[in-house]
């Protein structure tokens, strides 16, 4: 059996998708699995996907490739050379990805049923979104549909957390260590960096070891006593997050990565709906959102707004959350009375 999977998204989308690839590889070790994914995220899938079966394409390159058709030819050649009998088009894949899947000659094409009619029509087994699913669950249901469509039985109903022990091996969790990641891809997902910095200073004052992850979109000064660190690779970031007793950040990829390795998390979230809350170790998760805004959540699985619609109080969902309230939750999570973090394997 040859399978090709499309997952050209950013970090958070891939973190919640890793269990699908791991489950397919472990259930069917004899399958040849090709993967098309983000160039910076190869480490997430290293144990499951051979280098020869990997195509690294940035999300923007895949999304805009219809403007430059010559770019698509080598991608189509690689897909066809894998001779796939099945295609898995995960959530939020571009029209070009759907075209590549449709022209691959695969008899089974499973994917998310939303978006343009053309994309939906190209799937032989579309998977409808159901109210109450997390995005991790939606991806998992696609895997279940694929396996059932091939007549290969079933897998459990709930997705496990990603197994990232190939990246965390040898990492020790440090009591009292707090990692703060103030970044996110868009402004509409970012609690103000200045508030992250003030929180960092306060936690140092409470005796915590605070590590500030340096990102260009949140380049603000931090107080004396706050350590700063740049993470050059996903593996570097995973190991740092796995060493922490608490992660603080926005609803973004690093949040889901911290959750995947069992680190307790505190997140201030704006537009993101609850379906994008961390999917695992829920007893170690605190998501802070403003429940009384009629515009929230403005993000849906089929719609991603580019600007804030609240013209009266822009980004109120983030800015109403003060440092005092986040500090209180962090201290509660760091308390000896709190449940212990998920142990590292």
For residue range 123-177, list pLDDT tens digits in order. 999 998 898 899 999 999 999 999 999 999 989 999 999 999 999 999 999 999 9
Region of residue 185 (phi > 0: left; psi between -120 and 50: alpha; otherwise: beta): alpha
Joined together, the tokens standing for residue 86 give 């099945």
Pairwise CA distance, residues 187 & 250, whole Å: 10
Pairwise CA distance, residues 240 & 173, whole Å: 9
Given a contact cutoff of 8 angstroms between Cβ atoms, the answer to whether 185 and 256 are in contact is no
Evaluate if residue 178 carries a pLDDT over 90. Answer: yes
Q: What is the reported pLDDT for 112?
A: 87
Q: For the domain covering 2-149, report its CATH number.
A: 3.40.50.2000
Paired residues of 6 in beta bridges: 36, 89
Q: Of 157, 161, 181, which Cα lies nearest the Cα of 237?
A: 181
What's the average model confidence in pLDDT over 297-302?
A: 78
CATH 3.40.50.2000 segments of the chain: 2-149, 165-334
What's the average model confidence in pLDDT over 270-275?
A: 83
Evaluate if residue 115 carries a pLDDT over 80. Answer: no
| CATH classification for the domain delimited by 165-334, as one of 3.40.50.2300, 3.40.50.2000, 3.30.70.2190, 3.90.580.10 | 3.40.50.2000
Pairwise CA distance, residues 47 & 29, whole Å: 12
Pairwise CA distance, residues 237 & 231, whole Å: 5
Count H helices, E strands: the chain? 13, 12
What's the average model confidence in pLDDT over 315-322?
A: 92
Mean pLDDT for the chain?
92
Q: What is the CA radius of gyration of the chain?
A: 21
| Chain segment 282-298, per-residue pLDDT in tens | 999 999 998 888 887 88
248 in helix, strand or coil?
A: strand
Phi, psi (degrees; rounded to nearest 5) at 258: -60, -45
What's the average model confidence in pLDDT over 8-19?
A: 95
Pairwise CA distance, residues 175 & 156, whole Å: 34
Q: Of 90, 50, 96, 51, which Cα lies nearest the Cα of 75?
A: 96
Evaluate if residue 116 carries a pLDDT over 70. Answer: no
- Model confidence, pTM: 0.93
Joined together, the tokens standing for residue 65 give 């490739």
Evaluate if residue 118 carries a pLDDT over 60. Answer: no
Paired residues of 260 in beta bridges: none
Q: What is the reported pLDDT for 306?
A: 84
The pLDDT confidence band at residue 311, using thresholds 50, 70 and 90, is confident
The pLDDT confidence band at residue 105, using thresholds 50, 70 and 90, is confident
Pairwise CA distance, residues 250 & 340, whole Å: 22
Measure CA of the first residue to CA of the last residue in the chain; give whole Å.
32
204 in helix, strand or coil?
A: helix
Q: What is the reported pLDDT for 304?
A: 78
Given a contact cutoff of 8 angstroms between Cβ atoms, the answer to whether 200 and 224 are in contact is no
Detail the DSSP E strand segments found in 120-277: 125-127, 177-181, 209-213, 227-229, 246-250, 265-268
Evaluate if residue 120 carries a pLDDT over 70. Answer: no
Q: What is the reported pLDDT for 336?
A: 82
Alpha carbon 335 to chain centroid distance?
A: 28
How buried is residue 256: exposed, middle or buried, by Cβ count under 10 Å (0-12/13-18/19+)? buried
Pairwise CA distance, residues 183 & 219, whole Å: 9
| Chain segment 37-66, per-residue pLDDT in tens | 999 999 999 999 999 999 999 999 999 998
What's the average model confidence in pLDDT over 19-25?
A: 97
The pLDDT confidence band at residue 337, using thresholds 50, 70 and 90, is confident
């Amino acid at each position: 059996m040859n399978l090709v999977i499309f997952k050209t998204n950013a970090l958070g989308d891939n973190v919640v998708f890793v269990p699908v690839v791991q489950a397919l590889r472990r259930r069917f070790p004899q399958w040849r699995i090709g993967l098309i994914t983000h160039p910076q995220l190869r480490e997430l899938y290293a144990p499951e996907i051979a280098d020869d079966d990997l195509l690294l394409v940035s999300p923007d390159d895949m999304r805009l490739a219809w403007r430059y058709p010559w770019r698509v030819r080598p991608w189509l050649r690689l897909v066809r050379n894998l001779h796939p009998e099945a295609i898995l088009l995960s959530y939020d894949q571009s029209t070009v990805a759907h075209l590549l899947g449709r022209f691959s000659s695969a008899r089974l094409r499973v994917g998310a049923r939303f978006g343009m009619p053309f994309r939906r029509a190209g799937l032989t087994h579309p998977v409808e979104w159901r109210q109450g699913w997390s995005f991790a669950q939606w991806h998992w249901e696609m895997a279940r549909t694929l396996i059932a469509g091939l007549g290969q039985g079933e897998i459990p109903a709930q997705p496990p957390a990603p197994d990232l022990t190939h990246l965390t091996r040898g990492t020790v969790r440090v009591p009292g260590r707090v990692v703060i990641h103030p970044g996110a891809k868009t402004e509409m997902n970012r609690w103000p960096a200045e508030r992250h910095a003030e929180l960092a200073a306060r936690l140092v004052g409470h005796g915590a070891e605070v590590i500030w992850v340096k990102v260009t979109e949140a380049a603000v000064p931090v107080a004396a006593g706050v350590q700063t660190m740049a993470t050059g690779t996903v593996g570097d970031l995973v190991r740092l997050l796995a060493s922490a007793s608490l992660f603080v950040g926005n609803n973004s990829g690093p949040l889901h990565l911290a959750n995947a390795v069992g680190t307790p998390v505190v997140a201030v979230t704006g537009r993101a709906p609850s379906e994008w809350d961390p999917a695992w170790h829920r007893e170690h998760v605190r998501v802070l959102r403003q429940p009384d805004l009629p515009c929230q959540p403005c993000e849906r699985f089929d719609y991603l707004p580019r600007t804030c619609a609240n013209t009266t109080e822009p980004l109120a969902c983030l800015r109403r959350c003060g440092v005092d309230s986040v500090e209180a939750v962090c201290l509660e999570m760091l308390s000896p009375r709190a449940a212990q973090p998920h142990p590292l394997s």
